[in-house]
Chains A and B, each alone.
Chain A
Amino acid sequence: MPFTAHDDHSGASAEERFNAFVVARTPALSRTAYLLTGDAHLAEDLVQTALFKAARSWHRIEGDPEPYVRRILYTQNVSWWRSRRRMREHALPEQYDAATPAADPDLRLTLEQALGRLTTRQRTVLVLRYFEDLTEVQAAEVLGIGAGTVKSIGRQALARLRTLAPELAELVGEPAGGSA
């Protein structure tokens, strides 16, 4: 049964509904945040920030608060990536986004490690498309960008995974099917 931010005829106060939402949805939000950041501490910050903002704007949320909270997760993560200060404090994995020698025969990366070497935007698109199961249009709407941009970023992300970890090619498929 989906949560509602306001009166659901249960007689619960707004605070009680918020707390119930937190208890029920934090595990799922934590998974998404972890995949988005690739870092447990950043994921914790991200979820706590999203829930704090949701509490602050609870009066404006209509219906199910989860889309609102998730949108904060996605956009806040991109926002942090843009923050140089944040980058210095947390040494985000994007600093390794510089081209890694693709021909390094000793490079063997797990999917987790490879995700960590994508840009935040690439990783976010992959999470939205293949973890949240959103279409390109839905992902574009959530991120506030064009569907074409989502498609382009997704294709770049898959290509980069193939480059970073050829042994993962089986996971990400052939280039032609990258945006499926």
Chain B
Amino acid sequence: MTGRLREELQRLGEVAPVVEVPADTWSRGRRARRRDQALTLAAVAAVLAVVGGLVAWLPQRDQPPVADTDSLGVPERLYSVPERMSDRRLDDTWSSGEVTDDLAVGVAAAAWVTEAGLPVVVDAAEGDYHLLDLPDFGGNNSHVADGFTPPTVALAPDGRSLAYSYASLDPEGDEAFETRDAAAAEPIPSGLRVLDLVTGDLRTVEIAGFDGTAVSQIAWSPGSTWLAWVGAHQGTWTPDGSGAEFPTGGRVAPGATTSQPLRLGDHESATLAVDDTGEVWAVDEGRLVRWTGGEPRGVAVRGDIWPRHAVLTSGGLAVGTRDELEVGLIDARGRVSRIQANGDLPVGGGSAEVLGTLGDDLVVRTRSADDTDGQLLLLSTDGAAEVVGSVEPGVPDTLSLATGLMTAERPSVERPAPDWPWSYERWVLVLAGLAFAVATVASFVTWLRRRLKGAST
């Protein structure tokens, strides 16, 4: 009977020795409790540190709210585009999924061409970065992009149009193009195209001459009406390379589909600007040429200049210099004066480029010689300077700005940083880092618990 079993168990239990309980059991228990709490806090802190580190490493998300479309503006900071966005497939086409052929991006604030030849447009409404697959853009061909007359883009000051150099190096349907006899073949259709960024419409300005024309510099008039350009006729031009180059230039009237040629002679490195009457000023290190459509008038430049970007002002042609705090001003007689920026500005031994005007002020981009950010300055003729924005050093010197969207009261606007898709390497690093962090925390906690447990018992 199990009743007997119960009695026998009771009897056995009665003879069991009474256990001696150590007097410090309570204090040891409370110490262990405090260690548990400390361990919990340490684990939480470790997890927070890991999560916090990852969050800090991820692209900044707490960006300001996006402005509505009524507040178009130039972003106060321009970011460089990661090199991987300019990767190409074997057939030279762009491989990044971010590159789009949807060209109607709206009014733009800035545009440039990456070092690898990919056009970038930053819209003025939201600050989004658009990587454009422009039809027949010269940079779509890697040989042209890396050539002596690299293709370029120029954003009109009103931000509504983008002019770019084009060359139909691989016309659709021309199966014999790759093996064509360069000497006997027709010239490559090339010249300028003007993209309406609001509608996506294209205007083609074909520039005939030799085997084609590679346009390497484009300037808009302040009112976004006239265009001027310089480039080179190509003696021999195939998809795989080019031969002799002959400097040339021209101007394009508002809405025109033809270019009026400008004889530049041997001034192949000329920098030019055009005003809203169509008057073109072209300058190189020794000579200034003014052209209104008739015979060009040239004068010697008396002074040391560094012709890069140039803008026509009431005082003459403003050009950049190799001093990031100085701009040159060339009058009609070729005399050079200088505007020295005042104030507490960073000095990095770099250079200055004039991107446009805002009233009587010049919009100047400064570049340091190191990898630090450059500035966007409003520079008045008396040297007063105001920093209104910054430009990452990876933004190349093909940068053009919609200075017509800038006002004295609001020269730049706050916009979110671009959110590029993660690279494969970044994914691998993040996942590996996360796994390592979790494993480290788990190992530490396990080790600590065992140690504390061993110490307690």
The segment out of A2-10, A94-102, A143-151, A165-173 that lies at the interface is: A165-173
Is A130 a contact partner of B2 (Cβ separation < 8 A)?
Answer: yes
Q: Mark A152-180, 1 if CB is under 8 A from B, else 0.
A: 00000010000000000011110001101
| CB-CB contacts below 8 Å: B1-56 with A | 1-2, 4-6, 8-10, 12-14, 16-22, 25-26, 28-30, 32-33, 36
Is A52 a contact partner of B16 (Cβ separation < 8 A)?
Answer: no
Q: CA A55 – CA B20 in complex, angstroms? A: 16
Q: Does B372 contact A (CB under 8 A)?
A: no
Residues on B with beta carbons closer than 8 Å to the beta carbon of A43? 16-17, 19
User: Interface on chain B toward A: helix, strand, loop, or mixed SS?
Assistant: helix
Is A30 a contact partner of B25 (Cβ separation < 8 A)?
Answer: no
Q: Does A81 contact B (CB under 8 A)?
A: no
| Interface range, B side | 20 to 34
Is B2 a contact partner of A173 (Cβ separation < 8 A)?
Answer: yes
Is A177 a contact partner of B2 (Cβ separation < 8 A)?
Answer: yes
Measured CB to CB, the closest approach of chain A to B13, in angstroms, equals 4
Q: Does A72 contact B (CB under 8 A)?
A: no
Measured CB to CB, the closest approach of chain B to A22, in angstroms, equals 5
Given contacts A29-B19, A31-B13, A35-B13, contact A55 B5 (CB under 8 A): no
User: Interface on chain A toward B: helix, strand, loop, or mixed SS?
Assistant: helix
Residue of A nearest to B23 (CB): A19
Pick the contact of B33: A32, A40, A57 (CB < 8 A). Answer: A57
Is A127 a contact partner of B2 (Cβ separation < 8 A)?
Answer: no
Residues on B with beta carbons closer than 8 Å to the beta carbon of A31? 13-14, 16
Is B4 a contact partner of A52 (Cβ separation < 8 A)?
Answer: no
Q: CA A93 – CA B21 in complex, angstroms? A: 24
Residues on B with beta carbons closer than 8 Å to the beta carbon of A158? 2
| Interface range, A side | 35 or more
Q: Does B63 contact A (CB under 8 A)?
A: no
Q: Does B457 contact A (CB under 8 A)?
A: yes
22 contacts between A and B (CB under 8 A): A15-B26, A18-B26, A26-B21, A31-B13, A33-B16, A43-B19, A47-B19, A48-B19, A51-B21, A55-B26, A56-B29, A56-B33, A56-B36, A111-B12, A112-B12, A126-B9, A127-B9, A130-B9, A131-B10, A171-B1, A177-B2, A178-B2
B residues in contact (CB < 8 Å) with A = 1-2, 4-6, 8-10, 12-14, 16-22, 25-26, 28-30, 32-33, 36, 456-457
In the complex, given contacts A31-B16, A56-B456, what are 15 additional A-B residue pairs having Cβ atoms less than 8 angstroms apart?
A: A18-B26, A22-B25, A29-B19, A30-B17, A34-B13, A35-B12, A44-B20, A51-B21, A59-B33, A111-B5, A130-B2, A131-B13, A172-B2, A172-B5, A177-B2
